[in-house]
Structure 1
Amino acid sequence: MSITRYMKNFFRYKNLLFELVKKNIKLKYRRSYLGILWTLIEPLLTMMVLTLVFGTFFGNDDPQYPVYILCGRLLYTFFSSASKAGLKSISGNAAMIKKVYVPKYIYVLSSVISNFVTFLISLIVLVGVGAVLKVEPSFYIIQAIVPLLILFVFTLGLGMILATLNVFFRDIEYIWTVATMLVMYASAIFYQTERIINTGNGWVFNINPVYMCISNFRDAVLYAQPMNMHYCLTSAVVAVITLIFGAVLFYKEQDKFILYV
């Protein structure tokens, strides 16, 4: 019965959610001359720099290496930017929270969705680079949606946890900046995993759901092969647990937000 009530409440505020998503996207590019085009240019420039450094200088002669980088970079950028936006979503909307009643999870959800929309737009770059470098799409490309959905759920749950903690402990923002940098280096964005596994440090990938999503996305888009089901199931379970924990924590503490924001 309570689930039905929550669903009705969600659909009641669906228009507000849509407006908040639009607002977040507009604010992100408000002072940019390039606007939404920067969503396409930034990953392309980053890919070129990383390819030059880790490809040319370190002797990686794989002609499709730029696609390898781009797959990892795009997914990590979504995770990083969306989790940081979710972290600030409650404290950043303090004025509205104090004046108008809105289900507070709407702010976290809109922050993650707006970054996901931006991410989907940036996939245009991946399609273009893949076409230029002759990456042939296969039937397995359909499965790419699975790691993307898992990463979305995981990021949303994490965003709710971070948003809750940030209301009471503002240092969380700085701690999370360092944490996302660690996640980046543990997600094999610009290096091949074989060398790390051979050193006995492959366990890093087995505890990192972000890497698992990136790896399965690469399998679907770049390597035209089935997903690693162990990675798929493990990351899905972690994502669902994170979302449930985040939702419970958020719901339990949300009535106190107004006293601290």
Structure 2
Amino acid sequence: MLIALNILMFIAPAIVSLVIHDYLRHGEVKNIRKVILYIIYLFLINLITFTISYIRGVKGFDFETMSLSYRLKYMGLGCVLGFIMPFIVCLITEDIITIGGFLRYAKRLFNDLKKYMPYAIWAAKADLGAEVASSYLNWMWWLIEPLCMMLIYTLIFGYVFKAKEDYFPIFIFIGITMWGFFSRSVKGSVDTVRNGKAIITKVYMPKYILLLSKMFVNGFKMMISFGVILVMMIVYQVPVSINLIWVIPDIIVLFLFTFGVGTIMMHYGVYVNDLGYITGIVLQMLMYLTGVFYSVAKRIPAPFGNILENFNPVACMISSMRSSLIYSSAPQIALLAVWCLISFILIALGVFTIYYNENSYVKVI
């Protein structure tokens, strides 16, 4: 088992890089070139990872005394680098991928957002209005649903399973609110293009604008829930500090990460009809690994708890939010910055994919 993990910690990050490199080249990389690129990634990633480890005090590899925690962290850092490295290598090795090309796509994205953002906001308002138009309690459902979920989980985990986290109702409400935004947005992204068939078959519109509209709806509901959280903090007399300002960056990173994942999922949702079912199952599993109603770092045995919290982006953001709101402490700023960078990479991959394939979506649906 340890031998396999020792090998995996070195080779897995390079595989991640090779997959993304081939993705950027639309699967056109020949097999011989793949082998050469894999060797390059294997060398570069492990060189950087080992250098960072050396600076932090690890002077060599002693596999007999090496802890499981170090192996997992080494592989996790390598995979993060493996996510970033292909963009740099592609700029150097691929003639059709240039800085000018990235800038053109970035400019096109900026112009399209500026042009179509009013529609996204209007569509979000229309969806919100239609959602409560025929209900007796109207907009109150946006409060009732998360409050009921909070009460259920508080009863089950707070009293039945004896959870000991401070301010547990607020603790669990933060997790439900943030996870709800992420899961609803990602699951909804799969069918976004198909559901928007009536629009995209008649007029041109960047397809991710439809996703943004749905995210604005979910984001509005999330903001209402955070308003309830602030009221609960006053009722429970939760002490606050200047670290409360980290709430804003945390929400921004969550939005960016969700948009990045959503753009990729909405592309594959056009071609894979069963992806919605698969996404639902995966999200259900991830919910229990994200710490929605418990602390991942405290409840999962070391070293897996801390590693899972750091390398699960939504778990990291939920933990950061709880630190800022409940515990008056600053989040892991460097880790939040890394996930912000990865979010931009995901957005770049997703938007690049949509622009490249959007003409074929109408034919498929």
2:185 aligns with 82
1:82–1:116 Cα contact (<8 Å) kept:
no
1:135 aligns with 238
1:63–1:133 Cα contact (<8 Å) kept:
no
2:322 aligns with 218
Q: Distance in 1 between matches of 2:139 and 2:192?
A: 21
Secondary structure at 1:29 match in 2? helix
Larger RCO (alpha carbons 8 Å, 6+ apart)? 1
Find the partner of 2:290 among 187, 191, 200.
Answer: 187
- What is the one-letter code of the residue matched to 2:233? G
Q: CA deviation at 1:230?
A: 4.0
Which TM-score applies when normalising by structure 2? Answer: 0.67
Q: Aligned ranges for residues 9-158 of structure 1 at < 5 Å?
A: 9-62=112-165, 64-158=167-261
Q: Distance in 1 between matches of 2:165 and 2:109?
A: 50
CA RMSD of aligned residues (A): 1.9
2:244–2:325 Cα contact (<8 Å) kept:
yes
* Aligned length, in residue pairs: 261
1:209 aligns with 313
1:236 aligns with 340
Unaligned runs of 5+ in 1: none
Find the partner of 1:251 among 355, 359, 365.
Answer: 355
1:98–1:258 Cα contact (<8 Å) kept:
yes
Find the partner of 1:7 among 110, 121, 138.
Answer: 110
- What is the one-letter code of the residue matched to 2:310? N
Q: Distance in 1 between matches of 2:188 and 2:161?
A: 34
Structure 2 vs 1, CA of residues 200 and 253 (structure 1 numbering), >3 Å: closer, same or farther? same
Q: CA deviation at 1:179?
A: 1.2
2:74 aligns with none
Q: Distance in 1 between matches of 2:260 and 2:231?
A: 32
Q: Distance in 1 between matches of 2:287 and 2:360?
A: 33
2:76 aligns with none
Q: Distance in 2 between matches of 1:185 and 1:99?
A: 42
2:270–2:364 Cα contact (<8 Å) kept:
yes
Q: Distance in 1 between matches of 2:160 and 2:364?
A: 50
Structure 2 vs 1, CA of residues 21 and 200 (structure 1 numbering), >3 Å: closer, same or farther? closer
2:121–2:216 Cα contact (<8 Å) kept:
no
Q: Distance in 2 between matches of 1:26 and 1:84?
A: 21
Q: Which moved more, 1:138-147 or 1:11-20?
A: 11-20
1:24–1:114 Cα contact (<8 Å) kept:
yes
Which TM-score applies when normalising by structure 1? Answer: 0.92
Larger Rg: 2
Structure 2 vs 1, CA of residues 17 and 200 (structure 1 numbering), >3 Å: closer, same or farther? closer
